Structure 1
Amino acid sequence: MSTGVETFEFQAEARQLLQLMVHSIYSNKDIFLRELISNASDALDKLRLEAYTDKDLEVDTADLHIEVEVDRERRTLTVRDNGIGMSRDEVIILIGTIAKSGTAELLQKIRETKDAGGSQELIGQFGVGFYASFMVADKVTLLTRRAGESSATRWESDGGATYVVETVDDAPQGTSVTLHLRPEDQEDQLFDYTAEWKIREIVKRYSDFIAWPIRMTVEKTDDEGKTTSEIQTLNSMKALWARPRDEVKQDEYNEFYRHLSHDWTDPLETIHMRAEGTFEYESLLFIPSRAPYDLFMRNAKRGVQLYVKRVFIMDDCQELMPEYLRFVKGVVDAQDLSLNISREILQQDRHIQLMRRRLVRKVLSTVKDMQANHAERYQTFWQEFGRAVKEGLLGDFDNQNTILEISSFASTHDPEKLTTLAEYVARMKEGQTEIYYMTGESRSMIENSPHMEAFRAKGYEVLLLTDPVDEMWVDAVPNFDGKRFQSIAKGQVDLDTDEEKEQAGAEREQREKDFAELLSWLTGTLGEQVKEVRLSSRLTTSPACIVGDAEDITPTLEKMYRAMGQEVPQVKRILELNPEHPLVTSLRDAHNDRKDDETLAETAELLYGMALLAEGGELGDPARFTRLLADRLARTL
């Protein structure tokens, strides 16, 4: 008996993804079985966890397992588990739609990716392995009953635009997925997925480490030709993290990583460690080779899997890994924690805090080793995760110096290569005591900034910081190797040597006198925009630039705070003039000659506007600036 039959349309993005699957973007179709077994394993983990936490849940956890069943005559393959199951609403939400943002971006990338392998890697990042069933099946039927519920749900689709959902009264707890396989004679069917040898091969290669028994009924023929059936377990069920490292092949690590992450690329680095003594635990961590699509999304899941004595406790234990290392995947298996531990207890547990400190140090030391001994791998790591790692400079004060050591930055030293802070310090000029940097939206914008002129002329190296997090950590980190970080767009800059200062002393004093009246007048005229107008020692070719006081926040950081809805008081900055520039000297002479005050005021406004635009700032009144500039140009023709 069945009730509640409904037909739904797939979400637009899900429909497009299904079509990609149906028309097979994969070069290796075997992975469909890996994905179904992985999903079944997750369902068993979740059931055992829920049975621990909900004592009123009446479920039998004595024989949790995964079953693979084939029917060669009907050409069906079924993967069945007696795990947590799904409710009707969960089926519609989890299978009928791709409930993740960024799907449109995924589809666009897939269309742009020419090779099948590249497409496969992109699909894997989005965790939509269930859809892989349609690579080998022309119809998929799913039957599921959630633990604790009496009714079950059947879902069915041929991979077209719609799917059918109905409520059924009689079904075992858990989930079964039945694939109605395509005919053997189709050109794209390379293997018979009802063949025992093929299923054994796939399970051994991809799912041998699964903690639950994967069973299949097989037929045995004795010497007399008599055929009998017996149930066999296809996987070894050995927890990979519990085995000695020298007994595990890298291929096994890679497959386990794919099982954990649903990323179909190999990990960049594998970290297998065992802690013994008063508090024992084992861990197997992975650094991916590419950033997940949701690395910078606020609601992205993070953390590693937590086990206690081989029992799965939670999927994304945030307490074991800080947010700036949220890309790290893996498993931590503790020996001395309670099986009923909750997130609230985790936050206070001293053993968890101890594990976290050790795991973080191990991840950072692994990156440091990559930096020293595996340059290419380190470059990949920093390109993918450097922006996230730098977030640790704002909160992880215990490891702040290590994070600085493993960080790389663009600089004016070499346009093709990033530099470490240690390399920067080794190249510093004699007598230089500060690490110079400038923040901005792009490298080209910083390099073309007026603030760079004196540093370029005198050969000082400047770090070019373009990530949003750079605006924040430079103020939070006091120094590196005793050298203070100094923004070239803040405070006074004096790059002259003692000898140069002595030679230019009298000249500088006279210049201050010559410009004193102009500077005073400009400070008053531009009083609503700037706090002070002064002569600059950082300009060589531009007429003016805008700088902040040493303790001021940058305009970019001010904009970031406002975008987040935070009220930030308007910060007035300083206008610096180049006393050698013809525009500035002409303005001084005109002011000294008491020329037309309105013309001078307009010139002052244009000078300020040009300085603002040169640093990538926004004009308060673009229309007025354009009109003043057009009028001034017209008078010169």
Structure 2
Amino acid sequence: MSGSVETLEFQAETRQLLRLVIHSIYSNKDIFLRELISNASDALDKLRLESLTDSSLETESADPHIALEVDPEARTLTVRDNGIGMTREDLVELIGTIAKSGTAGLLEKIKESKDAATAENLIGQFGVGFYSAFMVADQVTLLTRRAGTDTGTRWESDGEGTYAIQSEDGLPVGTSVTLHLKPVDSEDGRADYLSESKIRQIVKQYSDFIRWPIRMATERTAADGATTRETDTLNSMKALWARPRTEVSEEEYHEFYQQISHDWLPPAETIHMRAEGTFEYEALLFIPSQAPFDLFSRETKPGVQLYVKRVFIMDDCEALMPNYLRFVKGVVDAHDLSLNVSREILQHDRQIHGVRRRLVKKVLGALKDMQSKDAERYAKVWEQFGRALKEGLVEDTDNTETLLQLVSAASTHDPDRTTTLREYVERMKDGQDTIYYLTGESRAMVENSPHMEAVAAKGYEVLILTDPVDEVWVDRVPAFDGHTLQSIAKGQVDLGESTDGEKEDDAAKAQREKDFAALLPWLTTALSEQVKEVRLSSRLTTSAACIVGDAHDVTPTLEKMYRAMGQEIPTVKRILELNPSHPLVTALRTAHDADVDDPALKEVAELVYGSALLAEGGDLPDPARFTRLLADRLARTL
């Protein structure tokens, strides 16, 4: 027996929001089924919780499930659950009125928006939930009875401004939402939501890990033509992240990793965590064992998926993982976010920022543990992802110390293995308080650089940094564990004693400066278009000259990188350093002191500068002129 029908109007702002939803502000209409299944799952959760304290509800909570029913002739799709259900008052409060604080402002912003994408993001910040059904249905019928009550309620609306509501007897506990679907329209992007394959695809994408079974009756035709009906469970319900780690096998972890990453190699590390308190979430993250081919492509995005209460929200959630950890794969399942959460609002959500900080610390902590407990495995991970991790030294100042401990670099100590900064510090010579490094395009180029000569002769270890990102982070990080990082190709390098172990006395130094007092300013003037200063060097033992930068100059490699990216920066003039004991330099000084106007002196100066430039792998400004001068000079010696 049913009661009389009462027709009510939606609240004014509700009508406006419904109109926006119905007229395709959402580009992806598939989310309507995600929303309805999520509502059904919540209803089952609530019934389970209430039955724990109310024994009279135990019989009504048997076999909890969600059923999807399709009627092709009537063109209806029904989402049914045997959860907590609703009273008439619940329906009027929850569905008849959705005006909340800020709704008016939301609608105003939508009106001001000029494009659909912006409007969709704005709508995504507001929980439309049940109302997304009107994107695909021209009428919705809802039947419900709350557990513990005798009378149910029927609710119907076409979403145009009013809804009808009446009491109805004989309804089971729970809720059924029947959508009278609009016609299929390929031009409008309206899919066939009566199709079994389409329903399976949506459930698999969005609701596969819902804890309750999602069932659907399907027809099967046998070889003899006979038709039978079977009930299939469409979702796996295997949310590994929601289970204790002790109950999950390594095979299950690997299988899940392969499913979300499409990588058939096992991960190098699995991170399973649960956060409890004011904001609860679970996370299951994986560090791959091999870098994807597009790791350094501009289009590459972080690989962490966001779920809310086991319902899929989005792939590649940039708000959860920084760019330098984009290789990390996995899922984060939050308990307290709105399902209709947009990427824009995630970027500014305080709780999401807290999750991100903790996830980053967990990933970096796992790498530190691997580094200390399994150096060989860590070396392989660093080989694959070290370049990306070093980007964090530029982007993530909060974790600089941890990232520095993870850095592993080639060095002059051992050509066959890399070293950490901690290991470098432990091997430092007595009295050494500086960590020396040199950047370059390759190990061979760095090892053969003139800048290495005096440092190598003294027995100091030098880090060999050949990744492009090394040019950037070493300038952002002044020190490690109290030890300054210094490039041996920049600034003044004070190596203390001479290479034979004796300190040069002041008298000898003063005499040397006096000997070259005339040549150095002359060379500075002669090479003024190429260098800003010519001075004597303490870093050379066998080469005649080298080119160095001031302490805060941009390196030539970094200058090239900026120009390659289309960023014009002023050309940086560098410093030419001369080895005062080299025969070429002493001969040049003698010739200059004998006849400063000899035109050959200028040619020799250009050759000295060009040779130093080539020795560090630089590009000659005029290769043809350099080659001609060199050939002429060689011819005169024969």
The alignment's TM-score, normalised by the length of structure 1, stands at 0.67
Q: Which residue of 2 aligns with 1:546?
A: 547
How far is the alpha carbon of 1:611 from its aligned partner? 0.3
Are 2:482 and 1:490 aligned?
no
The 1:152/1:264 distance shift into structure 2, 3 A limit, reads: farther
1:453 aligned partner, one-letter code: E
How far is the alpha carbon of 1:289 from its aligned partner? 0.8
Q: Which residue of 1 aligns with 2:379?
A: 379
SS in 1 for 2:306: strand
Q: Distance in 1 between matches of 2:216 and 2:458?
A: 73
Q: Which residue of 2 aligns with 1:298?
A: 298
Q: Which residue of 1 aligns with 2:604?
A: 603
Q: Distance in 2 between matches of 1:330 and 1:381?
A: 17
Q: Distance in 1 between matches of 2:247 and 2:327?
A: 27
1:172-187 to 2 correspondences below 5 Å: 172-173=194-195, 175=197
SS in 1 for 2:493: coil
SS in 2 for 1:551: coil
SS in 2 for 1:472: helix
Are 2:394 and 1:394 aligned?
yes
Q: Distance in 2 between matches of 1:369 and 1:619?
A: 47
1:223-622 to 2 correspondences below 5 Å: 230-233=230-233, 236-497=236-497, 502-594=503-595, 597-622=598-623
The 1:342/1:168 distance shift into structure 2, 3 A limit, reads: closer
Q: Distance in 1 between matches of 2:409 and 2:578?
A: 30
The 1:259/1:615 distance shift into structure 2, 3 A limit, reads: same
Whether the 8 Å CA contact 2:220–2:230 is kept in 1: the answer is yes
User: What runs of 5+ residues in structure 2 fail to find an aligned partner?
Assistant: 1-27, 37-65, 71-77, 79-180
Whether the 8 Å CA contact 1:304–1:332 is kept in 2: the answer is yes
1:344 aligned partner, one-letter code: E
The 1:502/1:633 distance shift into structure 2, 3 A limit, reads: closer
Q: Distance in 2 between matches of 1:313 and 1:430?
A: 57
Q: Distance in 2 between matches of 1:216 and 1:462?
A: 70
Q: Which residue of 2 aligns with 1:47?
A: 30
Q: Distance in 1 between matches of 2:191 and 2:571?
A: 66
The 1:523/1:435 distance shift into structure 2, 3 A limit, reads: same
How far is the alpha carbon of 1:174 from its aligned partner? 7.3
Q: Which moved more, 1:330-339 or 1:503-512?
A: 503-512
Q: Distance in 1 between matches of 2:549 and 2:182?
A: 63
Q: Which residue of 2 aligns with 1:8?
A: none
Q: Distance in 2 between matches of 1:208 and 1:307?
A: 11
Task: Deviation per CA, 1:544-580: give whole Å up to 9, x if none.
Answer: 0000011111011111111111121111110000111
Whether the 8 Å CA contact 1:49–1:313 is kept in 2: the answer is no
Q: Which residue of 2 aligns with 1:88?
A: none
1:327 aligned partner, one-letter code: F
Q: Which residue of 1 aligns with 2:158?
A: none
Aligned alpha-carbon RMSD (Å): 3.4
Q: Distance in 1 between matches of 2:278 and 2:391?
A: 33
Q: Distance in 1 between matches of 2:558 and 2:69?
A: 54
1:136-175 to 2 correspondences below 5 Å: 150-151=184-185, 172-173=194-195, 175=197
1:456 aligned partner, one-letter code: A
SS in 2 for 1:316: coil
SS in 2 for 1:317: coil
Q: Distance in 2 between matches of 1:513 and 1:227?
A: 106
The 1:273/1:338 distance shift into structure 2, 3 A limit, reads: same
Whether the 8 Å CA contact 1:49–1:312 is kept in 2: the answer is no
Q: Distance in 2 between matches of 1:371 and 1:49?
A: 46
The 1:619/1:580 distance shift into structure 2, 3 A limit, reads: same
Q: Distance in 2 between matches of 1:323 and 1:545?
A: 38
SS in 1 for 2:599: helix
How far is the alpha carbon of 1:48 from its aligned partner? 2.9
Whether the 8 Å CA contact 1:218–1:232 is kept in 2: the answer is no
Q: Distance in 2 between matches of 1:169 and 1:273?
A: 38
Q: Distance in 2 between matches of 1:589 and 1:379?
A: 54
1:302 aligned partner, one-letter code: P
Whether the 8 Å CA contact 2:497–2:504 is kept in 1: the answer is no
How far is the alpha carbon of 1:376 from its aligned partner? 2.1
How far is the alpha carbon of 1:438 from its aligned partner? 0.5
How far is the alpha carbon of 1:318 from its aligned partner? 0.4
User: What runs of 5+ residues in structure 1 fail to find an aligned partner?
Assistant: 1-44, 54-61, 67-81, 83-146, 154-166, 178-202
How far is the alpha carbon of 1:506 from its aligned partner? 1.5
2:475 aligned partner, one-letter code: D
1:547 aligned partner, one-letter code: V
How far is the alpha carbon of 1:422 from its aligned partner? 0.4
How far is the alpha carbon of 1:230 from its aligned partner? 3.3
Which structure would you say has the larger Rg?
2
The 1:213/1:552 distance shift into structure 2, 3 A limit, reads: same
The 1:553/1:49 distance shift into structure 2, 3 A limit, reads: farther
How far is the alpha carbon of 1:46 from its aligned partner? 8.5
1:557 aligned partner, one-letter code: L
1:409 aligned partner, one-letter code: A
1:607 aligned partner, one-letter code: V
Q: Which residue of 1 aligns with 2:61?
A: none
1:393 aligned partner, one-letter code: L
Whether the 8 Å CA contact 1:535–1:578 is kept in 2: the answer is yes
Whether the 8 Å CA contact 2:34–2:311 is kept in 1: the answer is no
Task: Deviation per CA, 1:90-133: give whole Å up to 9, x if none.
Answer: xxxxxxxxxxxxxxxxxxxxxxxxxxxxxxxxxxxxxxxxxxxx
2:358 aligned partner, one-letter code: R
SS in 2 for 1:584: helix
The 1:216/1:378 distance shift into structure 2, 3 A limit, reads: farther
How far is the alpha carbon of 1:516 from its aligned partner? 1.0
Q: Which moved more, 1:285-294 or 1:336-345?
A: 336-345
1:522 aligned partner, one-letter code: L
Q: Distance in 2 between matches of 1:515 and 1:64?
A: 92
Q: Give percent identity, aligned residues only.
A: 67
The 1:234/1:49 distance shift into structure 2, 3 A limit, reads: closer
Q: Distance in 2 between matches of 1:585 and 1:481?
A: 42
2:468 aligned partner, one-letter code: P
SS in 1 for 2:516: helix
Q: Distance in 2 between matches of 1:554 and 1:522?
A: 23
Whether the 8 Å CA contact 1:267–1:286 is kept in 2: the answer is yes
Q: Distance in 2 between matches of 1:303 and 1:47?
A: 22
Q: Distance in 2 between matches of 1:598 and 1:369?
A: 65
Whether the 8 Å CA contact 2:409–2:464 is kept in 1: the answer is yes
How far is the alpha carbon of 1:227 from its aligned partner? 11
Q: Distance in 2 between matches of 1:311 and 1:65?
A: 20
Aligned residues: 464
Whether the 8 Å CA contact 1:216–1:234 is kept in 2: the answer is no
1:609 aligned partner, one-letter code: G
Whether the 8 Å CA contact 2:67–2:214 is kept in 1: the answer is no
Q: Which residue of 1 aligns with 2:633?
A: 632
Q: Which residue of 2 aligns with 1:130?
A: none
Q: Distance in 2 between matches of 1:545 and 1:169?
A: 69
Whether the 8 Å CA contact 1:303–1:320 is kept in 2: the answer is no
The 1:49/1:575 distance shift into structure 2, 3 A limit, reads: farther
Task: Deviation per CA, 1:464-499: give whole Å up to 9, x if none.
Answer: 000011000111012100001100000111212499
Q: Distance in 1 between matches of 2:227 and 2:314?
A: 44
